[in-house]
């Protein structure tokens, strides 16, 4: 009987890459590959790369240097190890990867990983395989569905890609060049995926895309459906208790999405809405296509539809030309909106993007100082947000055993980890938890008696000037 071949995938970056890694596993399962956590024993190692952050390609080449040593050691043992580079660095650098690191066997872009079996076969015949073109066919139409055992092993929460690519062309971003134009999957294909997941124990679905609320997939009625309509449809699928989506662009929020947050109990009241800066001058230089006031009014619309909504966001500090006044506008926006959490980064140029050509750069020292100030403000808001949960009862979807013996951990509506002492039989259930204390970013509590309407604790003052005090992420 043929022994299974071992596959190790290391993913960098975003949720899209986590999902893509799972689909690569699914694509290679019919070829006899099974996953291993140990790259040294793998017959195939895939680096699933991200090109968003600074020095992304250097990290990949450093990892490839280590893998080259492991590949040589495998050869001494009479075993062949193949190395593949996938994802956005593969798309951006292509053949340069093979030139710089000849140990690489396959380079494949994020739109072509359904061709992995053919590319690996080509490389095994003695050459190198490279595919970074945007294929005409939709990769999702060629990927085998995940096996029931694989779905159950991945837990009670799952990602489902509904949209890929971006047409916004923010001046700092490589996504339009590495992922291509915006493409949305048909509604029926997404429903098929979600039903399969629900049938195998998945309770929570996060719809993902580079610009997920630009979704416009063909519906069964022959018209393009917006994201809000898709969410309404998915909320009717038996077994799916929670719905989320990420990542959004402020320009693509429409009324159907606002209304979905008003109407759908299954749609979690936690919106990741990147703004990047609070300065209109910097937003214009970034080609963000919205102003700070547009963003404030959008937050008001969300909160009017559902006062329990909380926000997270992304910020870039030190974009070329950012003045002290521009940065002060960002701090003012953060204070006005009030975030449950946010990601913040120093600007770093991405080769090939318009912003990389800008000359009026901000010094590293100034960027460091501004980032510290911004993160201190965001951390203070997140701490207040979490502390407000103490003494309240919140609903938690339990996911798995925690590190501490006897504890089970789950997530609140706002993605906060919540720990209780309980048995594994509660995994997959949504139960009320009385929160007693806070350990860093985790809530500690105990199971409470079921509450008739225990779901979210809303803030007493939902005006945009107040800090959100909903129980939160």
Helix, strand, coil in percent for the chain, rounding step 5:
40, 20, 40
Domain ranges of the chain: 5-131, 139-388, 390-447
Binding-site residue ranges for [4Fe-4S] cluster: 14, 50, 88, 166, 170, 173
Tell me if residue 308 falls in helix, strand or coil: coil
Is the CB of residue 207 less than 8 Å from the CB of residue 162? Answer: yes
- The span from the CA of 51 to the CA of 195, in Å, is 32
Binding-site residue ranges: 14, 50, 88, 166, 170, 173
Is the CB of residue 239 less than 8 Å from the CB of residue 245? Answer: no
pLDDT value of residue 134: 67
Query: What CATH class has 5-131?
Result: alpha beta
Provide the phi-psi class of 218: left if phi over 0, else alpha when psi is between -120 and 50, else beta: beta
pLDDT value of residue 52: 67
Rg, Å, the chain Cα set: 23
- The span from the CA of 131 to the CA of 129, in Å, is 7
User: Tokens in use for 236?
Assistant: 């009717």
Q: List per-block mean pLDDT (blocks of 10 residues) for the chain, which spans 473 residues.
A: 83 81 90 92 92 72 92 92 90 87 91 88 88 67 83 94 93 87 93 96 96 96 97 98 96 97 98 98 97 98 98 97 98 98 93 90 96 98 97 97 94 98 96 96 89 40 29 28
- The span from the CA of 68 to the CA of 85, in Å, is 13
- The span from the CA of 276 to the CA of 53, in Å, is 14
pLDDT value of residue 235: 98
- The span from the CA of 8 to the CA of 50, in Å, is 17
Is the CB of residue 247 less than 8 Å from the CB of residue 211? Answer: yes
- The span from the CA of 386 to the CA of 81, in Å, is 46
Q: Which CATH architecture has domain 390-447?
A: Beta Barrel (2.40)
Closest among 112, 106, 215, 123 to 160, alpha carbons compared: 215
What count of other Cβ atoms lies within 10 Å of the Cβ of residue 221? 9
pLDDT value of residue 464: 30
Is the CB of residue 414 less than 8 Å from the CB of residue 340? Answer: yes
**Residues sharing a CB contact under 8 Å with residue 280, sequence separation 6 or more, in sequence order:** 291, 292, 329
Angle separating helix axes 255-263 and 292-305, nearest 10 degrees:
30
Is the CB of residue 360 less than 8 Å from the CB of residue 409? Answer: no
Closest among 208, 152, 150 to 184, alpha carbons compared: 208
Tell me if residue 406 falls in helix, strand or coil: coil
- Would you call the peptide bond into 101 cis, given omega within 30 degrees of 0 as the criterion? no
Query: What CATH class has 139-388?
Result: alpha beta
- The span from the CA of 283 to the CA of 158, in Å, is 33
User: Tokens in use for 73?
Assistant: 């050691």
End-to-end CA distance of the chain: 49
- The span from the CA of 311 to the CA of 435, in Å, is 21
pLDDT value of residue 453: 44
């Amino acid at each position: 009987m043929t022994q299974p071949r071992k596959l190790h995938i290391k993913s960098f970056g975003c949720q899209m890459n986590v999902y893509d890694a799972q689909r690569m596993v699914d694509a290679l399962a019919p070829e006899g590959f099974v996953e291993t956590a140990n790259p040294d024993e793998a017959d195939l190692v895939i680096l699933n790369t991200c090109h968003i952050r600074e020095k992304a390609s250097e990290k990949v080449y450093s990892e490839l240097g280590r893998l080259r040593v492991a590949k040589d050691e495998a050869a001494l043992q009479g075993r062949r190890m193949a190395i593949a580079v996938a994802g956005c660095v593969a798309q951006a650098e292509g053949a340069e990867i093979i030139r710089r690191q000849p140990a690489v066997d396959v380079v494949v872009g994020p739109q072509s990983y359904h061709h992995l079996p053919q590319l690996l076969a080509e490389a095994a015949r003695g050459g190198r395989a490279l595919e970074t073109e945007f294929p005409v066919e939709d990769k999702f139409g060629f990927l085998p569905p995940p096996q029931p055992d694989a779905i159950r092993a991945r837990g009670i929460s799952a990602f489902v890609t509904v949209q890929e690519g971006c047409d916004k062309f923010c001046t700092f971003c490589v996504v339009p060049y590495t992922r291509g134009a915006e493409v949305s999957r048909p509604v029926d294909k997404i429903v098929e995926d979600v039903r399969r997941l629900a049938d195998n124990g998945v309770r929570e679905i996060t719809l993902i895309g580079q610009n997920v609320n630009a979704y416009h997939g063909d519906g069964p009625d022959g018209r393009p459906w917006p994201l809000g309509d898709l969410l309404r449809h998915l909320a009717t699928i038996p077994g799916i208790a929670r719905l989320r989506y990420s990542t959004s662009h402020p320009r693509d929020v429409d009324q159907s999405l606002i209304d979905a947050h008003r109407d759908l109990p299954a749609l979690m009241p936690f919106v990741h809405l990147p703004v990047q800066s609070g300065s209109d001058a910097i937003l214009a230089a970034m080609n963000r296509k919205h102003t700070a006031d547009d963003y404030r009014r959008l937050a008001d619309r969300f909160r009017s539809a559902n006062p329990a909504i909380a926000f997270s966001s992304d910020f870039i500090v030190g974009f070329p030309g950012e003045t002290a006044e521009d940065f002060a506008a960002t701090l003012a926006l953060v204070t006005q909106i009030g975030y449950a959490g946010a990601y913040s980064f120093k600007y770093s140029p991405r080769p090939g993007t318009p912003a990389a050509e800008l000359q009026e750069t901000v010094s590293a020292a100034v960027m460091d100082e501004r980032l510290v100030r911004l993160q201190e403000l965001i951390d203070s808001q997140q701490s207040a947000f979490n502390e407000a949960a103490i003494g309240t009862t919140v609903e938690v979807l339990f996911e798995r055993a925690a590190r501490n013996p006897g504890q089970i951990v789950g997530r609140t509506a706002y993605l906060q980890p919540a720990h209780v002492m309980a048995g594994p039989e509660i995994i997959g259930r949504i139960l009320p938890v009385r929160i007693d204390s806070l350990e860093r970013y985790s809530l500690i509590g105990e199971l409470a008696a079921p509450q008739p309407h225990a779901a979210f604790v809303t803030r007493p003052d939902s005006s945009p000037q107040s800090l959100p005090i909903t129980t939160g992420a």
